[in-house]
Amino acid sequence: MDFYSFVEGPLLWIAFLTFAIGSIIRAVMLFFISRKTDPVIYKYFKWKYVLATYARWLLPFNKDVVKNPVFVALVYIFHICLLVVPIWLSGHITLWEESRFEWSWTPIPDGLADWMTLIFLAIALFFLLRRIFSPDIRLISTFSDYLLLVVTALPFATGYFVTHGTLDRLGFIGDNMQLIHMLCGELMLVLMPFTRLSHYILFFFSRAATGIEFGRREYIS
């Protein structure tokens, strides 16, 4: 088995399993930690508090929209593209169809995927420059914040280069862009449960706790 076949096969499944198992372990750990540190959450737990706060923060109905409408809009668009493009890209769906699972679902148009990718990369660049040039944001930023933003953007950038042959003339890089794209995606999958990218899990715990706390005081956050 050559390196390309290893990255396309075993390493890809290792990355998926690391992401899935790591996410489950992280969620279980958060559950048991919260049981010890915040027992009041479970004492007053009601789904109406949890679902209300999820709705307010997953949809643009929270107070931050009024305070920072442009920035919040960019955050929403960024995360929508981050979720939609990898899952509904036709090329990725084809891989699932050809796998042992033979899963298939309707893809988004390739043209839309291209635009969402470019928009995502533009917003990622804006976030990076904001961290670099805004004194307040730079003060609370760490090296990992910059690194993880780059790690998140690389699968999109390399995927766009693969699709359009943008860097094909660059010799080694162009010849191996498909391999680089897979490695970038796998790196992101592996890092997600164990870094600040894990906010895709932390969000639901923190918002649920806040919603229950305010809900029992008859104020839904």
Is the pLDDT higher at 26 or at 99? 26
pLDDT at 47: 78
**Which of 120, 141, 162 is where one domain is finished?**
141
Give pLDDT tens digits for 89-110: 999 999 899 888 899 999 999 9
62 shares its domain with 74: no
Give per-residue burial for 115-151: e unless 16+ CB within 10 Å, then b: ebbebbbebbeebeeebeeeeeeeeeeeeeeeebbeb
Segment 112-129 shows an average pLDDT of 97
Query: Domain check: are 62 and 75 in the same one?
Result: no
Which whole-number Å values give the CA distances from 119 to 36, 116, 128, 156, 163, in the listed order? 42, 5, 14, 10, 16
What is the extent of the structural domain holding 127?
68-141
> Which whole number is the average pLDDT over 21-47?
83
Question: Do residue 13 and residue 74 come from a single domain?
Answer: no
| Confidence band of 218 (pLDDT split at 50, 70, 90) | low
pTM for this predicted structure? 0.88
Statement to judge: residues 72 and 137 lie in one domain: yes
